[in-house]
Structure 1
Amino acid sequence: MTRRPSPLALVVLAAAAVAGAVVPGAAPAAPAAPSSLTCRTPVAPHEPPCNPHLALSGWGGSHRNSYASGSSPYPAPHADDDVTRQRITLPGLPSAVPITVTFSSRYADGGRVAWMSTVAPSAIHKVDVASGDIIDTLTPSQSVNSIGISGAYNVLDRDDHFFVGRSSSIEVYGDETPGERTSPIALLDSLTLPASALCGDDKLVGITMTYDGYIAFATARGVVGVVPRDLDRFDSKHLQTVNLNQGRCDEADDDLEIVSNSISADETGGIYVVTSQAMNRVQWNGRRLRLGWKAGYNVGPPPSGVRLGAGSGSTPDVMGTAKDRDRFVVITDGGPLMNLVLFWRDRIPQGWKPIAKGLDRRIACQVPVTFGDPNATRTTSEQSVLTNGYTSVIVNNSLTNESVLDALPAQIRPIVAAELGGVPQQAPYGIERIDWNPRTRTCQVKWANPEVSIPNAIPTLSTESGLIYGQGQRNGLWGLEGIDLRTGAQRLWVPSTPTPASNSFYAATEVGPDGDVWQGTSGGIDLYRGPDRTGPRMR
């Protein structure tokens, strides 16, 4: 059963001065209220604790999990595998892009489905994981067709309820017949945010799941909120918010903390929100929200080229687990020559001094990302940093000549930049790995490969295969790149097509639950299937 969406508008996208100081007394916060639900964490190096409220599939939210790490312990194609490509074309959507895909828990018949949302126009899709068949497509009654990222990010909970933040509402979708894999999609609930949960003319942007089962969200104009995922309490009565721009909502965007990326959360109640002015930890203790700390970073010049907003272009990643001495939140900054930046996410170590004059004391490391070019003066990424353990991987999104975008309206520059990403003479090139060294407490460049071109996809990693994956282009032909995590060498290439249909358009590359790689593209999914392999042991 398929309900056709309305005619298509242009698509988008993603992802996708150093003011502020450490808030006094920002000690590690008490964990949020415990949950009686349990889950099993894969046995794999550096694996974050599983969130029992996310779908029991290994990939229940944007950037995989509440940590937003983007990496997976599940199997994926190896360098010498025979890999096939399957094209899934979403009905009626020749250009709309599913930025992120989430995978359901197992149904009674053993199967799974993939859930995804698109933003231009608004639509919800349900796809069978094993076959790639489209089960249903639903267009919300109040479809949003404007250019923007509201609705790009989503969360799938353990009850297979699909939460999408769209405009000023959080919508909840699920199976019309509960527990039936082939059931049509139904709108189960919708929470329209009251005016008190918005900051003037505002829209939802980021969304994640707290470890005690609350949907956490951030709006474009700096409101951070939580509401229970339990549909019996999914209402404004149980909604709590904190406004990063409290008392200033009548001011222009340029004067406010603006959010243009998604958010992340850890098991101690920290919710991480990067804005156009600062990196913020908002603290949730199961009863109330408050600002934990705020730290300035290099916001850089006004956005241009691929940038969707001022400041950082990355969803904050949570780095380090309870077993690690050093724990961070990770972004790339907005400098003309972009830096990887690690912030201490808990208490700043005693005696820690700013690593450079003028930098916030909470910054643990700040390293220029040059992609192997010692003469580089300009690098940009509009993707979340890929992290695993103390490793960070960044891809280059800067066109060879971004001056071609200068005469265009800012709103459409990212779209044109994405299209030019498939042109070899203009495409971005470069990928780099930077590691935190806990012995020296510094960051070190491990390798850089200036030849790889992953123009606009959000990369992923399978620790089982040891490969980093992303939708790349070689000589104008799109396809799946597989890059060795240890050395940076290109180890796998699966060609797709030179047509715009395989342009990743800022969408995520993801490791599916069955050992396959899923890639959102213009109008659908490129699904790369490798041999069946056994998944990780669980503990």
Structure 2
Amino acid sequence: MTTRMWDAAPAVGLGLILALLLQACNRETTSTTPTPAPAAARPAEPPAATPLNMPPPNPWLAESVYPTSHFNPAATDSVLIAGPVGSRNLTAADVATVPTLITSNPTMKRVGGEVIAFASGAVGVQKIRVTGDAFEAVGGLLPYPGFEKSAAMATPTALDAALTQLDAAYRAKDETKILDALKGLGAAGLNMESGINGVYNLFDRDGNHYCVYGGTHVLKTTDGNLVGDPPRIVKTADVAKGLPADVARSVTRIIGLNMTYDGFLAAAAPGALIILDRDLNVKASVTFNGEAVDNSIVIDENNGIYVVTEKHMNKVIWNGTTLSTDEKDGAWSSAYDSMPGEKALAMGAISRGSGTTPTLMGFGSDPDKLIVIADAAETGSNAVAFWRDAIPAGFQQKPGTQSNRIADQIRIDISQMTIEPSPNVLGYGVAFLNSTYPKPLPAGPGNAFTGGITRPAPIGIQKFNWNPDKDAFEKAWINHEVDNTDIMVPVVSAATGLLYAAHKDKGVYQYVGLDWTTGEIKSRWVFPDDSRRWNALGGITTVMDNGDLMIGGVFAVKRLKIGGGGTTARP
């Protein structure tokens, strides 16, 4: 049963999430039965006083509900359109799939009256037609350059063979067999190099798709905006080769990718921020005094770029030609509470410092403009809000914070350690998932598939509201039911007032809709059977145009045909 905490009533960083497939952790669920809840009445809307301004559209991104990872350059993981409502047990006809080897989050573009998704996965890019309620692969998998051999291994037959073995091991509740079955993914092309390929990706306004693979490579592909044509490579570039030698030494892999509001690619790598033009030429770079960068980046409409390192939250200014870290240009840097990276990794974290991609809060006429992360304090993670622009006149540094750049911070009660999934932000509400595995495995994808089965799972979601009158976070609610084993970033629909999250109940995969105002589960969709096919490991939940949900995962991209919504809330 859901438990709520009301102290006051008033977003997987995704960065290294897929490294869970190569370095992980887990725990057991205490949720309800897989029988769906009765159909719910339309949930409460977000409070009328909650601002619902959204990030300004980036004119250089494709027109769609989901042109880039985390939905928009601000990484809010929220939308104004309506997601699904109601509850039911899904049938096979309710879930369409396209086989892929680990896809985190397909992005989408419009081509005339059609909608196209590109799923950049572990070994290549798969095009999918998603117009209306369609979910059809277009052509075969386009391998990443240098990954042709692995891509040839990632056949539907190989994926099904690994899945069959894993399902049998799960049904036996045998941890040794589960871990042995996961080795079968190696026969389908998964290895240490391919595991985090393609995580961050985007479409530009001309319909070109960009993603990161092979550590330091960026790939540009296109289908020529022809619905029936498969994707083809336009260009690939090894970013490290375009950097000064002293910068290149720290760029061993690119973590995140985003688009500035003047049409340049911004890439995050350990220790560096890099700007490329859309022809993949390096234009500028800046380093962070040897501090690791293990998350993606966000960008405001004035091309302030926000980068969280293992010790500092930084605002870097892009002026169209150069990057600046100078305060006179509007840049800033603030320390936040963080344990040593080696200690965090030893405890099962997959990031040094904050695990979250930063998220912007406050847009348009909203009185406060903030940037929000979860920190890496040794006593447990805090939600931390920084002033994005000038610090308000008269604002005094709050006790226990590292600087007066920090508007407020508050303990996240559900987490014992660094939080990995990016927070969800809608208006002045922000929700965090617990991603601490109580009894982590030392390595491998085992955490995602033993959690809630043979080991305890990370449980719980907590929401806070920002009070601009008090310059403070206030606790809204805690849900103690949701199983976060998949470390799947949820999505919030303003139209339905629901947060849609991945969940498992006694090992059976579900999707649930939590009331954004109360945290109660209002909707529940149980997958057709107990297969591991329905995992959503390391992805970002997408609300599609008609209210369906699209999710990634290890064996397939899935479309849950449960919508029928679209741009307005249901009556």
TM over 0.5, shorter chain: yes
Secondary structure at the counterpart of residue 221 of structure 2: strand
The alpha-carbon distance between structure 1 residues 14 and 206, as it changes in their structure 2 partners (threshold 3 A), is farther
1:115 aligned onto 2:118: yes
| Partner in structure 1 of residue 261 of structure 2 | 211
Q: Mind listing any 5+ residue stretches in structure 2 that lack a counterpart?
A: 1-16, 24-50, 151-190, 326-330
Contact 1:82/1:531, CA 8 A, preserved across alignment: no
The superposition leaves residues 180-225 of structure 1 with CA deviations (integer Å, 9 ceiling, x where unpaired) of: 11211101112322242523452111110111111111112x2212
Which aligned pairs between 1:16-165 and structure 2 lie closer than 5 A?
45-79=52-86, 85-90=94-99, 93=100, 96-105=101-110, 107-108=111-112, 110-119=113-122, 122-130=123-131, 131-136=134-139, 137-143=141-147, 145-147=191-193, 149-165=196-212
Of 381, 385, 389, the residue aligned with 2:427 is 389
Secondary structure at the counterpart of residue 302 of structure 1: helix
Partner amino acid, structure 2, of 1:272: Y
The alpha-carbon distance between structure 1 residues 426 and 81, as it changes in their structure 2 partners (threshold 3 A), is closer
1:533 aligned onto 2:565: yes
Partner amino acid, structure 2, of 1:532: G
| Partner in structure 1 of residue 12 of structure 2 | none
Give 1:163 deviation, angstroms.
0.7
Contact 2:266/2:276, CA 8 A, preserved across alignment: yes
Contact 2:423/2:430, CA 8 A, preserved across alignment: yes
Q: Return the alpha-carbon distance in structure 1 between the equivalents of residues 509 and 417 of structure 2.
A: 22
Q: Mind listing any 5+ residue stretches in structure 1 that lack a counterpart?
A: 1-9, 17-43, 246-255
Partner amino acid, structure 2, of 1:310: R
Which aligned pairs between 1:107-506 and structure 2 lie closer than 5 A?
107-108=111-112, 110-119=113-122, 122-130=123-131, 131-136=134-139, 137-143=141-147, 145-147=191-193, 149-166=196-213, 167-175=215-223, 178-193=224-239, 194-196=242-244, 198-200=248-250, 202-220=252-270, 222-229=271-278, 231=279, 234-236=280-282, 239-245=283-289, 256-291=290-325, 292-300=331-339, 301-304=343-346, 307-336=349-378, 337-357=380-400, 359-371=402-414, 378-399=416-437, 401-402=438-439, 404-405=440-441, 408=442, 412=443, 415-423=445-453, 426-455=456-485, 456-496=487-527, 497-506=529-538
The alpha-carbon distance between structure 1 residues 362 and 327, as it changes in their structure 2 partners (threshold 3 A), is same
Partner amino acid, structure 1, of 2:115: R
Give 1:425 deviation, angstroms.
5.4
Q: Give identity over the alignment, percent.
A: 28
Q: Return the alpha-carbon distance in structure 2 between the equivalents of residues 15 and 263 of structure 1.
A: 23
Give 1:240 deviation, angstroms.
1.3
The alpha-carbon distance between structure 1 residues 186 and 527, as it changes in their structure 2 partners (threshold 3 A), is same
The superposition leaves residues 362-390 of structure 1 with CA deviations (integer Å, 9 ceiling, x where unpaired) of: 1111111113xxxx7x2442100011111
Of 527, 531, 549, the residue aligned with 1:517 is 549
Contact 1:422/1:478, CA 8 A, preserved across alignment: no
Q: Return the alpha-carbon distance in structure 1 between the equivalents of residues 60 and 395 of structure 2.
A: 36
The alignment's TM-score, normalised by the length of structure 2, stands at 0.76
Structure in which a larger fraction of residues adopt helix: 2
The alignment's TM-score, normalised by the length of structure 1, stands at 0.81
The alpha-carbon distance between structure 1 residues 335 and 242, as it changes in their structure 2 partners (threshold 3 A), is same
The alpha-carbon distance between structure 1 residues 322 and 46, as it changes in their structure 2 partners (threshold 3 A), is closer
Q: Which structure has the higher relative contact order (CA within 8 Å, separation 6+)?
A: 2
Partner amino acid, structure 1, of 2:233: L
Contact 2:129/2:137, CA 8 A, preserved across alignment: yes
Give 1:314 deviation, angstroms.
0.7
The alpha-carbon distance between structure 1 residues 326 and 201, as it changes in their structure 2 partners (threshold 3 A), is closer
Give the length in aligned residue pairs.
Answer: 462
The superposition leaves residues 425-457 of structure 1 with CA deviations (integer Å, 9 ceiling, x where unpaired) of: 511211111011001111001111112223211
RMSD: 2.5
Partner amino acid, structure 1, of 2:76: S
Contact 1:15/1:382, CA 8 A, preserved across alignment: no
